[in-house]
Amino acid sequence: MRLSTLKLSIAIPESALSDESLKIDKTRKISVLARACAIFKIDTIYVYQEGNNKSDGALMIMILKYLETPQFLRRRLFPKMNDLKFAGVLQPLKIPSHITPANSKKIIRGDVREGIVVSIKGKKFVDVGINHLIEFYSNTSVGKRITVQFKEGYPKLSVKEIDKSEVPSYWGYSVKERANLYSVLSEWKGNIIMTSRKGKTVTSEQLSKYTKTDEPILVVFGSPEKGIHEIIGGNMNKVQNAKSLNFFPNQATETVRLEEAILGTLAILNVQNTP
């Protein structure tokens, strides 16, 4: 079983940006987080509230969503705003949903695209980033981003809306905000890996229990100031199907930064999941 067959999600705190003081540095850090999630095919990023800096949480959610959006849709979906002031330093994800030809003559039946529903003179169309709009017959509301599959290629170009889960290749992550970490854990249906230096040192035998099952996995990360055990407190014993594991035993640094923890942890899971 390869990682692509696993449904991996992560939970990160909004306070993850607290160790950066400048917005441009916060923006760069979010870019690294997004790239790590794209590399390892993360399904959902849960951003949970922890601490009192709501503006950092809003910035993180906005930029994560912006980066996951194909470039040709960004202008329609994201108006100019202060949170995107330093968008120029962001590194592109270059995931399959972003790498699509703009030449309509190259489109064949079965191709999948991201698009946005638009209205012109009372008629609905979908903009999929080619040189003309495609008529769209659906109750889907105008302004909504959708995933479409071509029923016919060039020159007829007709599409139908599909669910992202129907796309055979990795098609990007979704971003969800939660009031606290416990709310993420209590609603999760599947296995949970809590990353903590207080956890048991990770072994291949432990990880095989997760990678050899079809159960979705949530990998949870703490904040720069607090570990997961401190954040959850007395609710720790109420969390079901969770194991606390240390992916960085014998670390020489006082702390492991979130971007380092995500890359390191997911890389270990990836290797474990490769036959």
The structural domain count of the chain equals 2
Q: Which CATH number does the domain housing residue 149 bear?
A: 2.40.50.140
State whether 44 and 16 are in the same domain.
Answer: yes
Query: Is residue 45 within 8 Å of residue 9, measured between CB atoms?
Result: yes
Burial of 47 (0-12, 13-18, 19+ CB in 10 A): buried
- Per-residue model confidence (pLDDT) at position 209: 86
Task: Please indicate, yes or no, if residue 55 is contained in any of the structural domains.
Answer: yes
State whether 157 and 186 are in the same domain.
Answer: no
Task: Please indicate, yes or no, if residue 228 is contained in any of the structural domains.
Answer: yes
Burial of 269 (0-12, 13-18, 19+ CB in 10 A): buried
State whether 88 and 141 are in the same domain.
Answer: no
Peptide bond just before 155 cis, omega within 30 deg? yes
Task: Please indicate, yes or no, if residue 20 is contained in any of the structural domains.
Answer: yes
> What is d(CA 257, CA 263) in angstroms, rounded to the nearest whole number?
10
State whether 194 and 256 are in the same domain.
Answer: yes
State whether 158 and 181 are in the same domain.
Answer: no
Q: Which CATH number does the domain housing residue 228 bear?
A: 3.40.1280.10
Task: Please indicate, yes or no, if residue 191 is contained in any of the structural domains.
Answer: yes
State whether 256 and 187 are in the same domain.
Answer: yes
State whether 215 and 158 are in the same domain.
Answer: no
> What is d(CA 60, CA 273) in angstroms, rounded to the nearest whole number?
29
State whether 10 and 82 are in the same domain.
Answer: yes
State whether 194 and 151 are in the same domain.
Answer: no
Task: Please indicate, yes or no, if residue 122 is contained in any of the structural domains.
Answer: yes
Task: Please indicate, yes or no, if residue 168 is contained in any of the structural domains.
Answer: no
Report the alpha-carbon angle 56-89-267, nearest 5: 75
- Per-residue model confidence (pLDDT) at position 275: 64
State whether 113 and 189 are in the same domain.
Answer: no
Per residue of the chain (275 residues), what is the pLDDT tens digit?
A: 343 367 899 999 999 999 899 999 999 999 999 999 999 999 999 999 987 778 999 999 999 999 999 999 999 999 889 999 999 999 999 999 998 888 888 999 999 999 999 999 999 999 999 988 999 988 999 999 999 999 999 889 999 999 998 998 999 999 999 999 999 999 999 999 999 988 899 999 988 888 888 899 999 999 888 889 889 887 777 788 889 999 999 889 888 889 999 999 999 998 877 66
Domain residues for the domain of 117 are: 104-163
Task: Please indicate, yes or no, if residue 140 is contained in any of the structural domains.
Answer: yes
- Per-residue model confidence (pLDDT) at position 3: 39
- Per-residue model confidence (pLDDT) at position 4: 38
CB atoms under 10 Å from CB of 111, counted, come to 16
State whether 177 and 89 are in the same domain.
Answer: yes
State whether 57 and 140 are in the same domain.
Answer: no
**Entry pTM:** 0.93
Cα end-to-end span (Å), the chain: 7
Task: Please indicate, yes or no, if residue 99 is contained in any of the structural domains.
Answer: no
